[in-house]
Structure 1
């Protein structure tokens, strides 16, 4: 029986509202799951040295510092400026604003991943991809996943690049690539799958130019804003020694295996489904009904390129910090959704439930992870405050700049870790460590800083590492001439500046040395 015109209009309007309602339901579910999986991030501050570095940078910028001049790092400007903006609005005494921003970033990335999968394989695949994105985003060591650092804010840009490219919005794809690069250099790897889609669509040179313009203009604008020479040096050319694994032995390889192994464990049900789908595809269709259209991995060349490019970006430089492997999460989530789409509803549900169970285990790990380093940083900060006044500058010679933020003391140097001056890296160990491996021109600049505004307190926080002050001749001589050792706390040595105008030492106001 034909519908009346009024009934047909109401039916059409109701159908038009269904996709929007489904998207809102999915977004609500993703938001709830993201908050639940990231609850550990609010229970500990800071999670890793990167958070401490960014928080200290934000305070330096608020005090009039200039990025890539008096405030430096090897990273692009987006995340430091994000921290600076959050501190400007909510104050700099807590990291909860950037933790909330991290939740938003994960939700946005998951929603875009869901949209990618839904467009290709339908609504069920979209829900699977979004949920898997959230679950996999906590599938590494807690200090790598719960921290509000570079990769977390880079990933939504990488997914957005594919989202725009899939819809042939080439300028938007290029701008998203630029956003990824300005969050972290390795985000530029997403340009490869964008180019694959461009080639598959036979889009032509106008599209290539739009992608190139969108990707280049924001990066060039940032370079001009921060001085092109300094910008290029700090985010690219000045890190040659840091990106070398010479003499590091097996440590980088073991770290890489640990990172890949943990993420593989978190994604194990998806990986099993992917392997099964690939093997089935290689075997070929058994019947005429099993056409390529029924192949869950049909038309996924760009996603495989995305996964491979992300793996290459995570391993470049041979540092292999765990959080580097977060870059594999978006393509793995979307490919996993494709593989589960080829299973029966019962099998796909079981795989998704197993992935949820593994995510719960990683969240539990987050609540029970060792707090030894955080507790040490807080004791160090308490000791720094006991020896100094708020206006005093201090130098923390170590790899944990969170001490500056926790102690509320300004750094005496633009080099917030000893890594800039010795080439030490936790990801590579103690290979090629010493003054001669420092960044070009770093030591002359550092010595000028020490002469111009001497730190009131110097803390050797190396705790037996090869970059300790007793193994760094220039700093050792400076300490011998101008400083007096006053305490040792948890293996960290504290040196107070000799002040002829002050007859008594402040050591009596400090905690008992041990």
Structure 2
């Protein structure tokens, strides 16, 4: 039973007035709001991401981006000789960071990820403060950072796409909440150009526009702000190539067919992990749903569209769930406004406890796959010269970056050539499920500049050479087995005499 009458938050259809300021010019004794809040949030953001600073990288996406950045710096062309299914903004960020700080470490990108989380928390605090007051702003910022690492560390701590779309998605909502429609459109575009699912925040932006600014000019400003950056990026990379690699070329990837139980189990596991991280936030939200209306239709729409972005593609990787965290933090903050003050304290304490669990997980848990890739990269570096090109047939493109060797193909993982897709291991894996036109290009690359070394890092997975005829023929016609390193088989080019005798 409530101990105080509920304080209804403002309706989404009505403008939210800022907190009243003193009419006289009298100064208050309290220090300025942001001067005290921002340093606290910065310290919390750095603390929660300490694990990310202790390892060279956390997952293959970081390795992929690092290799892409090196290829672009060496004259590669995005969506031509440098390819991926992702939009261009993050490869460009990696390329810029490498140009400024060097390409031997991801530390500058990891610090950028800390800054992205800090900016996300500050924007959430600003939204909450405008709607519910100073205390709510502090609560929203702190709650977000405490749950922001509430996933497997390789998903939450990596400096990859989902972390960098978060400040853009929250900025889009922040702008729409204040009627800054052109800025909202630009922020949605930036989120989309970081990862396609970032564009899901357009739904709550349009909801706020419909509720608060039905004038046609507001819709035009939003559309202009969105279209201009996207069209500019398409012109820079080539409209046809941009459309193929970011939208139309991923049909086989974004399907539910293949490994259904495996994928559903992954989705359930990651949902439970996130629920544990939000253990301090879920009870107040559920309690308020039973006893009062929060007036937060825009926040619920944001949450539902973010959930749709998690489902899209039917892979349910942990890092997809990061998009849910900003609306969850605001929904919890909204709920806490109609509950006793002690509920907010309890929510923060419980969230701090779960955050400590994930922080310990990130700092202490072993990373066997990273250790494996480091061994393979060391073997590649020892057995090749700096000018040699190598082919690593697997799902760990970071091997190229760690070995400091140039890839022999623009396709940096077996996933692009077999649709293995980082975990989908059912019937839809093989040459016929590759990106359209990929195998003819791959054969041309192998014929023009055969790799000095091929690493078969399939280790029994469905893209092993015995299930990929083109790769099997390539190995049989010009390569001989050299050694095995931690399960990965290394092949070197065979001499003409040995090739003839093999025939």
Q: TM-score range by the shorter chain?
A: over 0.9
Q: How many residues are aligned here?
A: 479
CA contact (8 A) 2:185 2:225 kept: yes
Aligned pair partner of 1:457 in 453, 464, 470:
453
| Shift, 1:431, TM fit | 3.4
Identify which range, 494-503 or 251-260, moves more after superposition.
494-503
Q: Please give the residue correspondences for 1:298-317 in structure 2 after superposition, counting only pairs within 5 Å.
A: 298=295, 300-317=296-313
Cα deviation for residue 247 of structure 1 reads: 2.8
Q: Note if 1:251 corresponds to 2:262.
A: yes
Provide the rounded CA distance (Å) in 2 between the counterparts of 1:202 and 1:169. Answer: 10
Matched, 1:70 2:81: yes
* Alignment RMSD: 1.8
Q: 2:113 aligns with which of 99, 102, 120?
A: 102
Residue in structure 2 matched with residue 329 of structure 1 by the alignment? 325
Q: Distance in 1 between matches of 2:348 and 2:229?
A: 39
Equivalent residue in structure 2 for 1:152, among 163, 172, 179: 163
Relative to structure 1, is the Cα distance of residues 172 and 307 closer, same or farther in structure 2, using a 3 angstrom cutoff? same
CA distance in 1, matches of 2:258, 2:53: 39
* Distance in 2 of aligned mates of 1:449 and 1:370: 37
Aligned partners of 1:486 and 1:73: how far apart in 2? 31
User: Partners of 2:392 and 2:324 in 1: how far apart?
Assistant: 34
For residue 406 of structure 1, what is the aligned residue in structure 2?
A: 402
Cα pair 1:245 1:428 within 8 Å, conserved: no
Of 461, 465, 471 in structure 1, the residue corresponding to residue 467 of structure 2 is 471
For structure 1, which segment, 425-434 or 48-57, has the greater mean C-alpha deviation from structure 2 after superposition? 425-434
Partner of 2:484: 488
SS at match of 2:482: strand
Aligned equivalent of 2:139 = 128
Pair 1:82 & 2:104 matched: no
How many angstroms apart in 2 are the aligned matches of 1:359 and 1:126? Answer: 20
How far is 1:123 from its partner? 0.9
Question: Quick check: 2:258–2:425 contact (8 Å CA) kept in 1?
Answer: no
**Number of the residue aligned with 1:434:** 430
Match of residue 117, structure 1, among 128, 131, 136: 128
Give the Cα–Cα distance (whole angstroms) in 2 for the partners of residues 35 and 358 of structure 1: 17
- The C-alpha deviation readout for 1:396-448, integer Å capped at 9, x for no partner, is 00000000000000000000000011000234233300111111110000000
Would you say the 8 A contact 1:60–1:71 is kept in 2?
Answer: yes
Per the TM alignment, residue 502 of structure 1 is displaced from its structure 2 partner at its CA by 12
Match of 2:12 in 1: none
Residue 14 of structure 1, aligned match among 8, 24, 27: 27
Asked whether the 8 Å contact 1:395–1:459 carries over to 2, the reply is yes
- How many Å separate the matches in 1 of 2:195 and 2:432? 27
CA shift at 1:13, angstroms?
5.7
Task: Pick from 184, 192, 198 the counterpart of residue 195 of structure 2.
Answer: 184
Deviation at 1:487, TM superposition (A): 0.6
Deviation at 1:203, TM superposition (A): 2.9
**Alignment check: 8 A CA contact 2:179 2:213 kept:** no
Give the structure 1 partner of residue 362 of structure 2: 366
Deviations 1:97-136 (A, max 9, x none): 0000000000000000011111111111111111111111
Residues 392, 455 of structure 2: 8 Å contact kept: yes
Which structure 1 residue ranges, 4+ long, deviate > 3 Å from structure 2? 499-503
Residues 47-93 of structure 1, C-alpha deviations (whole Å, 9 max, x = no match): 00001000111110111111111111000111111111111111000
**Hey, what's the Cα distance between the residues in 2 that align with 1:406 and 1:214?**
39
TM-score by length of 2: 0.93
Distance 1:248 1:10 in 2: 65
Unaligned segments of structure 1, at least 5 residues: 1-8, 282-294, 504-514
Using the alignment, how far apart are the partners of 1:463 and 1:103 within structure 2? 35
Q: Is 1:48 the equivalent of 2:59?
A: yes
Q: Quote how far apart the aligned CAs of 1:314 are.
A: 1.1
Identify the match of residue 93 of structure 1 among 95, 100, 104: 104
The 1-side partners of 2:212 and 2:170 are apart by 19
| Structure 2 residue 173 is matched with structure 1 residue 162 | yes
Per the alignment, in what secondary structure is the counterpart of residue 52 of structure 1?
helix
Q: Deviations over 1:321-362 (max 9, x none)?
A: 100000001100111111122222222101111101100110
- Are 1:210 and 2:221 counterparts? yes
Q: Is the 8 Å Cα contact of residues 255 and 427 (structure 1) preserved in structure 2?
A: no
Measured against aligned partners, the alpha-carbon deviations of 1:248-300 in whole angstroms (never above 9, x if no partner) come to 2211111111121111110111111100000112xxxxxxxxxxxxx5x12x1
Give the secondary-structure state (helix, strand or coil) at the position aligned to 2:440: helix
